[in-house]
Amino acid sequence: MLMYIIALISGGVAGVAGALLGISGGIIMLPVNQFILGFSPAIAVGTSLFAAIFTTTSGAYGHFRNGNVRIKSALLIGGGGLVGVLLGSYVFKAYLSNNTAILQMLLGLLFLFMAVRMGLETYREWRQGEAESPPQREPYKYQILLLVLLGLLTGTMAGIFGVGGGFILVPVLIWYFAAEPYEAVGTTLLAMLPYVAAGAAIKTGQNFVNLPCGLLLGLGAIAGAQLGVVISRNIKPLIFKLIFTLIFLYLAWQYLSAPLSVVT
């Protein structure tokens, strides 16, 4: 019973984070699944991706209702993501699912990257203020191709790590496609939906999903994502970014310490 309560609460937190920061929530649920619920890394990845369906669906709906979505960009990214998640799922099944040390090291590097990226973004916003507008840029000649390639990258990451890749998509949409911050978040959540759903279906078929916990994580995420959309209109996310920077640093250490201790 305690496991299910933790899963429900964790889903709520992930839903709020997803709507505020434009992430699928898998990056929050993944360490909870492994370090608190006690799942193996492979099951933690699959269950996180399964639950992320609910986060992305609920968050995308909320942002779409508020007019925060670029439909064409979302479709292009989502199309590339469908190809990427097939590739990532194959790599995960064939090479990583039974190699815990390598998978944990890759997850540690992912969280380290997240911590550095979010930390730099937090520092920049603290020094310059969130009111700073992104630089005006000329439209990219090959922007359609770039959006598809972004989807390919984040879809591959979804298949391997169980995360949607919003931490890549949101800043790219803001700084290189001149999207407003909340428009970038909404577009990202809608773009992630097709390849997150496809990846979750693949992981379920490969028996890498704990369905009861995945459903509870997802149910919590539905409520959390709607709350996050409301919060995003009323407060600045800077404090949340600082908190998650510290959390991601700790998680990077947790993931990297186990395989490194085996090597030494």
Residue numbers of the domain that contains 196: 2-99+138-171+179-236
Residue range 212-259, pLDDT digits in tens: 999 999 999 888 877 877 776 676 667 777 888 888 899 899 899 866
Tell me if 181 sits within 8 A of 174, measured CB to CB.
yes
Q: Is the pLDDT of residue 264 over 50?
A: no
Question: pLDDT value at position 215?
Answer: 95
The most confident of the ranges 24-28, 123-127, 206-210 is: 206-210
Residue of 6, 2, 55 whose CA lies nearest to 26: 55
Query: Which residues have CB under 8 Å from 219's CB, separation 6+?
Result: 8, 11, 54
**What Rg, from alpha-carbon coordinates, does the chain have?**
17
Summarize the chain as % helix, strand, coil (round to 5).
Answer: 80, 0, 20
Better-scored residue on pLDDT, 191 or 231? 191
Number of domains making up the chain? 1
Domain presence at residue 11: yes
Question: pLDDT value at position 131?
Answer: 47
Domain presence at residue 255: no
Portion of the chain with pLDDT greater than 90, in percent: 41
Residue range 159-187, pLDDT digits in tens: 999 988 888 898 888 888 888 878 888 89
Average pLDDT over residues 33-46: 92
Domain presence at residue 251: no
Q: How confident is the model at residue 263 (pLDDT cuts 50, 70, 90)?
A: very low
What tokens were used for 129? 């203020």
CA distance 107 to 163: 11
Question: pLDDT value at position 136?
Answer: 53
Question: pLDDT value at position 262?
Answer: 46
Domain presence at residue 191: yes
Domain presence at residue 252: no
What tokens were used for 35? 């370090």
Residue of 54, 89, 106, 73 whose CA lies nearest to 220: 54
Q: Is the pLDDT of residue 21 over 90?
A: no
Tell me if 252 sits within 8 A of 108, measured CB to CB.
yes
Residue range 41-52, pLDDT digits in tens: 999 999 999 998
**Burial class (CB within 10 angstroms; exposed 0-12, middle 13-18, buried 19+) of 211:** exposed
Domain presence at residue 157: yes
Record the pTM.
0.83
What is the DSSP secondary structure assignment for residue 130, as one 8-state letter?
Answer: T
Q: Is the pLDDT of residue 17 over 50?
A: yes
What is the DSSP secondary structure assignment for residue 136, as one 8-state letter?
Answer: P
The most confident of the ranges 42-51, 92-101, 124-133 is: 42-51
Q: How confident is the model at residue 120 (pLDDT cuts 50, 70, 90)?
A: confident
Domain presence at residue 128: no
CA distance 108 to 112: 6
Average pLDDT over residues 78-92: 97
Alpha helices in 92-165 (DSSP H): 100-128, 143-161
Q: Is the pLDDT of residue 140 over 50?
A: yes
Tell me if 36 sits within 8 A of 6, measured CB to CB.
yes
Domain presence at residue 232: yes
CA distance 146 to 148: 5
CA distance 219 to 55: 9
Average pLDDT over residues 126-143: 60
